[in-house]
Amino acid sequence: MKKYKAALFDLDGVLVDTAKYHYLAWKELAQRLGFEFTEQDNERLKGVSRMASLEILLEVGGMQNHFSAEEKEQMAAEKNARYVEYISKMDASEILDGALDTLKKLRERGVKIALGSASKNSPIILKNVGLTEYFDEIVDGNSVSKAKPDPEVFTQGAERLGVAYEDCAVFEDSLAGLQAAKSVNMLAVGIGTRENLPVADVLYPSLKEFEVEKFF
Ligand code: BG6
Ligand code: MG
156-203 pLDDT, tens digit each: 999 999 999 999 999 999 999 999 999 999 999 999 999 989 999 999
Instruction: Answer whether 53 contacts ligand 1 (Cβ < 6 A).
Output: yes
Could you tell which of 8, 14, 22, 56 is best to mutate to test the pocket of ligand 1, judged by most ligand atoms within 8 Å of the CB? 22
- Residue 48 CA from chain centroid, whole number: 9
pLDDT at 113 over 90: yes
The class level of CATH for 19-87 reads mainly alpha
**Known binding site: residues?**
10-12, 26, 45-50, 53, 79, 117-121, 148, 172-173
Task: Examine the pLDDT at 107 and tell me if it is beyond 90.
Answer: yes
Q: How far apart are CA 203 and CA 42, in angstroms?
A: 22
**How many Cβ atoms are within 10 Å of 87's Cβ, its own excluded?**
20
In which band, very low, low, confident or very high, does the pLDDT at 40 lie, cut at 50, 70 and 90? confident
Q: For residue 74, what pLDDT is reported?
A: 98
- Which residues, in sequence order, are CB contacts of 162 under 8 Å at separation 6+? 112
CATH superfamily of domain region 6-17+91-215: HAD superfamily/HAD-like (3.40.50.1000)
When pLDDT is cut at 50, 70 and 90, the band that residue 44 belongs to is confident
- Which residue's CA lies nearest to atom 4 of ligand 1? 119
Q: How many CB atoms lie within 10 A of CB 200?
A: 23
Sequence ranges of the binding site for substrate:
10-12, 26, 45-50, 53, 79, 117-121, 148
Give domain limits for the chain: 6-17+91-215, 19-87
Rounded to two decimals, the pTM is: 0.93
pLDDT of residue 100: 98
> By C-alpha distance, which of 103, 80, 82 is closest to 92?
103
